[in-house]
Amino acid sequence: MALSATDQHVSAAPGQVSRNAAGSTFAEVDDSHRIVPSIEFRDVVLAFDDRVILNKLSFKVLKGETKIILGGSGGGKSTIIKLVLGLLKPDDGRVLVDGEDITDYSEAQMVAVRKKIGMVFQEGALFDSLSVYDNVAYRLHEQKLPEDQVEPEVRRMLRFVNLEDAIDKMPAELSGGMRRRVGIARALIGDPKIVLFDEPTAGLDPPTARTICELAMKLRDLEDVSSIFVTHEMNNLDYLCSEYAVVNEEGQVVFEREGERLCLTNSKVMMMKEGKIIFSGTDETLRKAEDPYIQKFLRGH
Amino acid sequence: MNFVTRSIFELQETTVMTARAVTGVFKGPRYFAETIAQMDAIGVGSLTIIMLTGFFTGGVLTIQTFPTLAFWGQQGQTGRLVAVSLVRELGPVLTALMVAGRVGSAIAAELGSMTVSQQIDAMRALGTDPIRKLVAPRMLALLITLPLLTVVADVVGIGGGGFAATSLYGLSFNEFLTSVRDGITTDDILGGVLKPTCFAVIIGAVACYKGLNTEGGTVGVGRSTTRAVVTASIVVIVADFFLARALQYILGMPAQ
């Protein structure tokens, strides 16, 4: 089946093609290490006082996969991300990152795990007292890397999010969308193989939200990054589940729509309600689901 | 949680945080630049208000005590009374209260804002322990600067007392200073420095704990700031009572 590439969209932000994209081979597919999920939840339970936030939650995020978590506010979506980072501990169940059980890890042990993970916060969560450069370089500065190694890396990441011009600005001088993109650049420094997005497009205008989704697609398709993308915006779902990033003959990153019958995007959808998974699968099956809550969520009424 | 349970829980959490901050000072990574910046903000930044407070407190002590001493013919002891009151009690307590108001509120507000805007979570996500990065430098800076500020307040306060005694009551400055020298002992000075050391831990621990446990957005930041100042001030005053009694035993100060 030929790919229908009629709805091709050229990226506004010329991204850098990684070694992963250039050197992708079938050997990668056969790699037994890839069978181990990047993130796995096993019967995770979490409650705050009498309020159950997550109720026996189990799911996996495979290598290179984007797991889109949908659900209404207060449904426990962001809590999942905090559990992966070890910012919260479950009351019961196990949390595994790259096959490593981190459930009982101390704060000191989590430092090594967190190095593998990039996190994009809802409002960017940039450090107000630091410039864009220092925000993005934060992780490298903490590792005491020399400045001549830090600067090229920071510039590479800011180029990836198309914000190299803002390198000397302070967070207060940036718009909401720019703050999120700096947040993405900061999360990606050190090339983490897992990236967590906590409602990164909330409150943004549609073109900026589209740009954020394109960055997530580039990470998925060109950098082989596994990610959790928490959102409640349906346009995010459309972009992430029906488009994929490729590099065209001119070396530019372009976004193409998947075909009618051929699914090329490595995104899975999970919908949550009151701490439980009420749907898990592809966007096509989600749209066909008969659950009234899902239908109401999809239609908005 | 009722008030008692919550208070015990907060005391436990504050103690654990303080213990981790102390460990953070001795184990790497150390944040020297951050500590120096905090010492500048806390120490140098508070110098003016501490000097003003000290000067006028010393002055008012003279105004309030000179007439009574003169009634008994002991006006020559004004310097002793002012110095002992300042060094033992008023210097440490007033300095701690001023710092609790100025610095405690600033720490709680800064950390509270960072908490509600997820900057603390971001810091942890980026592999940094906020206790070591934020709490330890602030507590260390307070530990170093508060005793120094207290000494400054004591000296300026004695100067203020001397100024009032000479300009308002015609007492010779030499007579005032002689009675100051006769009145203060090494134990007074030692006690006057030990107290602010304890107060520094109290102010730092309370302000950092309240800031890091802020909930409820910007309203929560305001609430945390108020609570930090009120709690730190009350604990300082209560601790002062027990410290005063403890120092009487430890340093052999006159208890009766």
**Residue of higher predicted confidence among B36 and A50:** B36
In this predicted structure, the answer to whether residue B127 has a pLDDT above a threshold of 60 is: yes
E-assigned strand segments in A112-152: 117-120
Structure tokens at B234: 């009350």
Q: What whole-number distance in Å separates Cα of residue A89 and Cα of residue A45? A: 10
Domains contained in chain A, number:
1
User: Does A118 fall in a domain?
Assistant: no
User: Does A152 fall in a domain?
Assistant: no
Q: Which of A191, A169, A193 is nearest to A182 (CA)?
A: A169
Q: What whole-number distance in Å separates Cα of residue A220 and Cα of residue A225? A: 5
Q: Which domain holds residue B41?
A: 29-250
Say which residues have a Cβ less than 8 Å from residue A300's Cβ, sequence separation at least 6: A234
User: Does A154 fall in a domain?
Assistant: no
User: Does B12 fall in a domain?
Assistant: no
Q: What whole-number distance in Å separates Cα of residue B183 and Cα of residue A90? A: 62
Select from B118, B128, B129 the Cβ nearest to the Cβ of A125: B118
* Window from A77-86, A148-157, B25-34, B122-131 with minimum mean pLDDT: B25-34
E strand or H helix at B46: helix B45-71
User: Does A117 fall in a domain?
Assistant: no
Instruction: Indicate yes or no: pTM above 0.80.
Output: yes
Cβ-in-10-Å burial (0-12, 13-18, 19+) of A136 comes to buried
Q: Which domain holds residue A286?
A: 9-106+222-299
Using DSSP's 3-state secondary structure scheme, residue B63 falls into: helix
CB contact under 8 A, B125 and A85: yes
In the predicted model, what is the mean pLDDT of residues B13-36? 86
In this predicted structure, the answer to whether residue B143 has a pLDDT above a threshold of 60 is: yes
**CB-side exposure of B37: number of CA atoms within 13 Å?**
9
pLDDT at A264: 63
User: Does A217 fall in a domain?
Assistant: no
Q: What whole-number distance in Å separates Cα of residue A138 and Cα of residue B128? A: 10
CB contact under 8 A, B121 and A121: yes
User: Does B223 fall in a domain?
Assistant: yes
Chain A touched by B34 (CB under 8 Å): no
User: Does B158 fall in a domain?
Assistant: yes
**Share above pLDDT 70 across residues of chain B, in percent, rounded to a whole number:** 98
Residue A139 with chain B: CB contacts under 8 Å: 126-127
- Classify the phi-psi angles of B222: left when phi > 0, otherwise alpha if psi is within -120 to 50, otherwise beta: alpha
Chain A touched by B1 (CB under 8 Å): no
Residue type, A156: R
State how far the alpha carbon of A84 is from the alpha carbons of A223, B10, B174, in Å: 21, 27, 71
Using DSSP's 3-state secondary structure scheme, residue A94 falls into: strand
* Cβ proximity of A169 and A131 under 8 Å: yes
CA distance B81 to chain A (A): 47
Q: Which of B138, B129, B145, B125 is nearest to B28 (CA)?
A: B129
Q: Which of B103, B114, B97 is nearest to B213 (CA)?
A: B114
What is the residue-averaged pLDDT of chain B? 91
pLDDT at A144: 87
pLDDT at A5: 37
pLDDT digit string, tens, across residues B168-224: 998 998 999 999 998 888 888 888 899 999 999 999 999 999 999 999 888 999 999
Q: How sure is the predictor about B26, in pLDDT bands with cuts at 50, 70 and 90?
A: confident
Q: What whole-number distance in Å separates Cα of residue B202 and Cα of residue B239? A: 9
- Read out DSSP for A182-209? HHHHHHHTT--SEEEEESTTTT--HHHH
Q: How far apart are the first and last CA of chain A?
A: 36
Enumerate the β-bridge partners of residue A280. A270
Chain position carrying tokens 């990047």: A38
CB contact under 8 A, B119 and A114: no
Other CB atoms within 10 A of residue B35 CB: 18
Q: Please provide the size of chain B in residues.
A: 256
Q: Which of A243, A176, A190, A234 is nearest to A215 (CA)?
A: A243
CA distance B1 to chain A (A): 10
pLDDT digit string, tens, across residues B148-166: 999 999 999 999 999 999 9
Structure tokens at A223: 């950098």
Query: pLDDT tens digits for chain A (301 residues)?
Result: 333 333 444 444 434 444 444 444 555 555 666 678 999 999 999 998 788 889 888 999 998 899 999 888 777 888 999 999 998 999 999 999 998 999 999 888 888 888 889 999 888 899 998 999 999 999 999 888 899 999 999 998 898 888 889 999 999 999 888 898 899 899 888 888 899 999 888 877 888 888 888 888 988 888 889 999 998 888 888 888 888 888 888 888 888 887 765 666 788 899 988 888 888 888 888 888 888 888 888 777 6
Q: What is the ipTM of this complex?
A: 0.77
Domains contained in chain B, number:
1
Q: φ, ψ for residue A119 (rounded to 5)?
A: -130, 125
Say which residues have a Cβ less than 8 Å from residue A267's Cβ, sequence separation at least 6: A65, A66, A67, A68, A220, A240, A241, A282, A283
User: Does A139 fall in a domain?
Assistant: no
Could you tell me the CATH number of the domain that includes residue A294?
3.40.50.300
User: Does B140 fall in a domain?
Assistant: yes
In the predicted model, what is the mean pLDDT of residues B56-83? 92
Using DSSP's 3-state secondary structure scheme, residue A45 falls into: strand
Give which of B118, B132, B212, B215 to mutate to test A binding, by max A Cβ within 10 Å.
Answer: B118
Say if residue B29 is preceded by a cis peptide, omega within 30 of 0: yes
